[in-house]
Chain A
Amino acid sequence: MVPIAYYLVLSAILFSIGVAAFLIKRNIITVFMSIELMLNAVNLTFVAFTRHWSQVTGHLQVNGQIFVFFVMVVAAAEAAVGLAIIIAVFRARNTLAVDQIDLMKL
């Protein structure tokens, strides 16, 4: 018997740790991983709300979980393309530090 608010609080904590990691870390791959962490926190919120609406209306709701399905698919596509971009940037600049990739000029 866990109140659904606890799941939402956990999701908020994970999201804010993701935001902190995004702002603090200096390696571009770790920054990208913090984006995935934020997406996962949001997925947890969606699933918690599906459960909430199922219990409130009394019959089975699936809309939140469908949303999570699509978020997973889009996150997978985004991860693939993002990592390809990171590889291309590494080939051009030969570094992964965010501070040294911040100008368009080589």
Chain B
Amino acid sequence: MHLALFIIFGAFCIAGALNLLLQRHPINSALSLIVVMTSLAVLYLLLGAEFLAVAQVIVYSGAIMVLFTFVIMLLNAGKEERTHGSKMAYVAGFPGAAILVCLLTFIFLSHKGDFAKARLGEYLVTTSDLSQVLFTKLLLPFEVTSVLILIAILGAVALARKEH
């Protein structure tokens, strides 16, 4: 059951990522990325990270990708054109990615025995476990990230404002 769910949602992730690569119009790439992020949320649930799964959907699928979608709609980004630069990128891009994935897959699968096997339902990290650490040991980084978000809001408003 675990294996079946992993294969189904892993296939969705890879299909969405390939669709991001192969689609010409940015809005289709954005929607494929939303599929990837939601499938990743399911994979987090399979690994026992329930808060992160929901945070992934709320933050990534529901906020960041909405922002991307808005920008694509507002700037009316059209289909991509083939230019001189894109031909060169095919020479470097596909082989580079292929080498990277083959190298990493070889390393991980050859050391497969060093990693544990995950079973569904064990070692569930609940929200209270996360918050125990986050609000006691890591309180300072938590507060610093809130300042970071404030700075990001101010920066985004200042950068995207119309000059009068």
With known contacts A1-B117, A62-B125, A80-B156, A73–B133 Cβ distance under 8 A:
no
The interface residues of chain A lying within 8 Å CB-to-CB of B30 are 29, 33
Which among A29, A77, A78, A81 is the interface contact of B159 at CB below 8 angstroms?
A81
With known contacts A3-B117, A17-B97, A55-B116, A26–B81 Cβ distance under 8 A:
yes
Contact B59 A76 (CB under 8 A): yes
Contact B84 A81 (CB under 8 A): no
Q: What is the bound-complex CA distance between A96 and B14, given in angstroms?
A: 26
The interface residues of chain A lying within 8 Å CB-to-CB of B75 are 29, 86-87, 90, 96
Would you give the shortest CB distance from A89 to chain B, in whole angstroms? Answer: 10
Number of residue pairs A-B, CB distance < 8 angstroms: 260
- By beta carbon, the residue of chain A nearest B129 is A62
Q: What is the bound-complex CA distance between A23 and B86, given in angstroms?
A: 8
- By beta carbon, the residue of chain A nearest B78 is A96
Contact B149 A1 (CB under 8 A): no
- Majority DSSP secondary structure for residues of A touching B: helix
Would you give the shortest CB distance from A106 to chain B, in whole angstroms? Answer: 15
Considering only CB atoms and an 8 Å cut-off, how many residues of chain A contact the other chain? Answer: 74
- Majority DSSP secondary structure for residues of B touching A: helix
Would you give the shortest CB distance from B145 to chain A, in whole angstroms? Answer: 5
Q: Could you list some 13 contacts between A and B, CB below 8 A?
A: A8-B115, A18-B17, A20-B94, A23-B89, A26-B83, A29-B77, A33-B20, A73-B149, A76-B63, A79-B64, A84-B156, A84-B160, A87-B160
The interface residues of chain B lying within 8 Å CB-to-CB of A4 are 115-118
With known contacts A65-B130, A80-B156, A83-B67, A12–B101 Cβ distance under 8 A:
yes
The interface residues of chain A lying within 8 Å CB-to-CB of B37 are 40
Contact B3 A50 (CB under 8 A): no
Contact A81 B156 (CB under 8 A): yes
